[in-house]
Amino acid sequence: MNVAVLLAGGSGRRMGGPEPKQFIEVAGRTLLEHSIRAFDRNADIDEIVIVCHPDYLSRVSDIVAPYPKVRHVVRGGRERYDSTLAALNVYEGNDADVPNVPLDRINVLIHDCVRCLVSDRIISDCVRALHEYRAVDVAIPCTDTIIEVDDQEHIVRMPQRSHLRNVQTPQAFRLDVLVDAYRRGLADPNFVTTDDCSVVHKYLPDVPICVVPGESTNIKITYPEDLILAEKLLKC
Lowest mean pLDDT among 17-31, 44-58, 93-107: 93-107
In order of start, what are the domains of the chain with their CATH numbers?
Answer: 2-234 (3.90.550.10)
Residues in a beta bridge with 167: 139
What is the pLDDT averaged over residues 27-43?
Answer: 97
Residues 6+ apart with CB under 8 A from 2: 44, 45, 46, 107, 109, 127
Residue 170: cis peptide before it, omega within 30 degrees of 0: yes
Pairing of strands 165-174, 25-26: unpaired
CA-to-CA distance for 52 and 22, rounded, in angstroms?
A: 10
pLDDT over 80 at 16, yes or no: no
What is the pLDDT averaged over residues 25-44?
Answer: 96
Q: What is the pLDDT of residues 61-96, one digit of tens each?
A: 999 999 999 999 999 888 899 999 999 999 876 554
pLDDT value, residue 36:
98
pLDDT over 80 at 18, yes or no: no
pLDDT over 60 at 12, yes or no: no
pLDDT value, residue 123:
98
Q: Classify residue 186 by its DSSP letter.
A: H
Q: What is the pLDDT of residues 160-189, one digit of tens each?
A: 999 999 999 999 999 999 999 999 999 999
Q: Classify residue 29 by its DSSP letter.
A: E
pLDDT value, residue 57:
93
What is the pLDDT averaged over residues 48-56?
Answer: 94
Lowest mean pLDDT among 17-21, 150-154, 192-196: 17-21
Helix (H) or strand (E) holding 86: helix 80-90
